[in-house]
């Protein structure tokens, strides 16, 4: 359209002389005015103007900051952290309360000329178990801390701790179990189980029974279940003889090889029927035996009371073909009291089963109770030497302690304790 308008203008002015004169000038002006339009039509040529170059740079920067239609954001200087296609990771600043604790204060350094050393105080404590009994072996209760005097290598010591404790025991339970009388066997088992119930975990106990001869059921053990298992074997009796002297002699002979204080809990009717040993030999053996105390428990009083009231019906009460009368039982009771008195024990004659727990409680008080003394030795050297001990029982005023029996007579007391101890040894 624009070309057709230009041609018409030229044709109209072709007949005028002035137009012919100014035609070259007008054409030159028109040509200069048309140059910008021609430049706009040539946008696809390789040559580019500065404006076009600036427009292209802006387009490239815009394409680099956009991905999938989402504009990118420049990371601020305080944000830090890596960036990806989704933009920078903004790391929040830590709050004041989230700040790490301050470092510990710096300790002063040790001077170079000061040597390393440590101060250690080791105060040893010596414990001494003391058993105070009468000459008969009965425990003497009621003593106080001031009644004891401890000497270590001849030097008096100051007792700092004092109490009464129960010591473990070493005992043999010797039970009469023969084919004699049902009541005798039942009461013997009941007394044996009552003694087993009174045992502690540190006690050493052996179980044996006798009829014609002694039989060891279990050797010395600290397992109470083994003691119960041994007593459970006493169900079917064997012979009807009860050779008490032979069984007790054999038990004392075996205990000679056991160190320390020992006890014999003798559950018996007190009747000896057919032993090879006589009473004189038995008593001599008891006198020659040391550190053994016998506690006889005589059973069968119900049968004995029945026989006393029915003399014609109890001729064979102790066994088939073994005539035992009232005098025989009384003689047996006297022998049991003698054995107990010679060894420092006591004889018991329970009439009812309900007496057994209290009975063995008394025995436990006699043989378990002991005094425990503690002191810090005046010789505090840890040189590993052996130090002799001597414990004395004195009165409150420092004089000899006097103990009287029920009849008001003075009773001699015995103090049993260890002879000494070995001090600890440290290596420098």
- In the chain, what are the domains? 126-158+376-422 (no CATH), 170-367 (3.40.50.410)
Question: What is the sign of the dihedral through the CA atoms of 282, 287, 290 and 296?
Answer: positive
The pLDDT of residue 155 is: 92
| Contact indicator for 286, 339 with CB cutoff of 8 Å | yes
> Angle 73-77-82 (CA atoms, 0-180°, nearest 5)?
65
pTM for the complete prediction? Answer: 0.57
| Contact indicator for 160, 374 with CB cutoff of 8 Å | yes
Percent of the chain with pLDDT over 70: 68
Dist CA 323 CA 316 (whole Å): 5
The pLDDT of residue 21 is: 45
Dist CA 110 CA 194 (whole Å): 70
Report residue 123's pLDDT band, with 50, 70 and 90 as the boundaries.
Answer: low
Beta bridge partners of 214: 210
- Show the tokens assigned to 346: 């006591």
Specify the range with the lowest mean pLDDT, choosing from 71-85, 102-116, 125-139: 71-85
Helix extents (H) in 275-406: 279-288, 301-309, 326-343, 356-368
Highest mean pLDDT among 34-43, 265-274, 363-372: 265-274
Beta-sheet pairing, 170-176 with 204-210: parallel
**C-alpha dihedral (300, 303, 304, 310), degrees to nearest 10:** 180
| Contact indicator for 319, 294 with CB cutoff of 8 Å | no
Highest mean pLDDT among 89-93, 180-184, 242-246, 327-331: 242-246
- Show the tokens assigned to 42: 């040539």
The torsion angles phi and psi of 226, rounded to 5 degrees, stand at -65, -35
| Per-residue pLDDT at 172 exceeds 90 | yes
Highest mean pLDDT among 72-81, 179-188, 269-278: 269-278
pLDDT in tens, 359-402: 888 788 778 888 888 998 888 887 778 888 899 999 888 888 88
The torsion angles phi and psi of 386, rounded to 5 degrees, stand at -90, 130
Average pLDDT over residues 137-163: 88
The pLDDT of residue 409 is: 84
Reduced to 3 states, what is the DSSP secondary structure of residue 93?
A: coil
Going across the sheet that includes 155-157, the strands are 155-157, 148-152, 386-393, 420-422
Burial 104-142 (b: 16+ CB within 10 A, else e): eeeeeeeeeeeeeeeeeeeeeebebebbbbeebbbbbee
Report residue 85's pLDDT band, with 50, 70 and 90 as the boundaries.
Answer: low
pLDDT in tens, 187-208: 888 888 888 888 888 899 999 9
Dist CA 293 CA 207 (whole Å): 16
| Per-residue pLDDT at 4 exceeds 50 | no
Dist CA 244 CA 271 (whole Å): 7
- Find where tokens 């039982």 sit: 329
């Amino acid at each position: 359209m624009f070309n057709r308008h230009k041609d018409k203008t030229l044709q109209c002015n072709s007949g005028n002389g002035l137009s012919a004169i100014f035609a070259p000038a007008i054409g030159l002006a028109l040509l200069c005015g048309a140059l910008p339009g021609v430049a706009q039509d040539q946008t696809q040529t390789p040559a580019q103007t500065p404006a076009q170059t600036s427009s292209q740079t802006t387009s490239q920067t815009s394409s680099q900051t956009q991905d999938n239609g989402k504009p990118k954001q420049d990371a601020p200087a305080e944000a830090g952290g890596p960036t990806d296609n989704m933009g920078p990771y903004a790391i929040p600043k830590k709050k004041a309360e989230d700040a790490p604790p301050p470092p510990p204060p710096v300790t002063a350094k040790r001077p170079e000329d000061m040597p390393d050393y440590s101060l250690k105080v080791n105060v040893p404590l010596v414990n001494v178990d003391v058993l105070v009994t009468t000459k008969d072996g009965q425990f003497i209760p009621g003593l106080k801390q001031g009644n004891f005097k401890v000497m270590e290598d001849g030097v008096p010591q100051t007792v700092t701790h004092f109490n009464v404790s129960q010591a473990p025991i070493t005992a043999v339970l010797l039970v009469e179990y023969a084919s004699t009388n049902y009541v005798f066997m039942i009461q013997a088992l009941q007394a044996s189980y009552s003694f087993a119930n009174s045992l502690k975990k540190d006690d050493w106990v052996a179980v044996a029974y006798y009829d014609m001869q002694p039989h060891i059921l279990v050797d010395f053990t600290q397992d109470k279940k083994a003691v119960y298992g041994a007593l459970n074997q006493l169900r079917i009796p064997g012979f009807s003889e009860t050779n008490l002297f032979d069984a007790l002699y054999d038990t004392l002979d075996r205990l000679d090889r056991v160190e320390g204080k020992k006890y014999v809990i003798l559950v018996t009717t007190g009747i000896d029927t057919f032993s090879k040993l006589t009473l004189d030999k038995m008593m001599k053996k008891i006198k020659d035996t040391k550190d053994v105390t016998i506690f006889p428990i005589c059973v069968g009083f119900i049968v004995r009371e029945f026989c006393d009231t029915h003399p014609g019906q109890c001729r064979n009460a102790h066994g088939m073909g073994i005539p035992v009368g009232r005098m025989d039982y009384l003689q047996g009771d006297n022998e049991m009291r003698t054995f107990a008195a010679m060894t420092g024990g006591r004889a018991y004659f329970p009439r009812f089963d309900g007496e057994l727990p209290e009975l063995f409680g008394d025995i436990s008080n006699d043989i378990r109770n002991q005094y425990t003394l503690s002191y810090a030795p005046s010789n505090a050297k840890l040189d590993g030497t052996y130090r002799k001990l001597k414990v004395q029982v004195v009165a409150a005023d420092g004089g000899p302690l006097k103990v009287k029996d029920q009849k008001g007579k003075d009773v001699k007391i015995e103090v049993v304790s260890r002879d000494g101890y070995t001090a600890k040894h440290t290596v420098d």
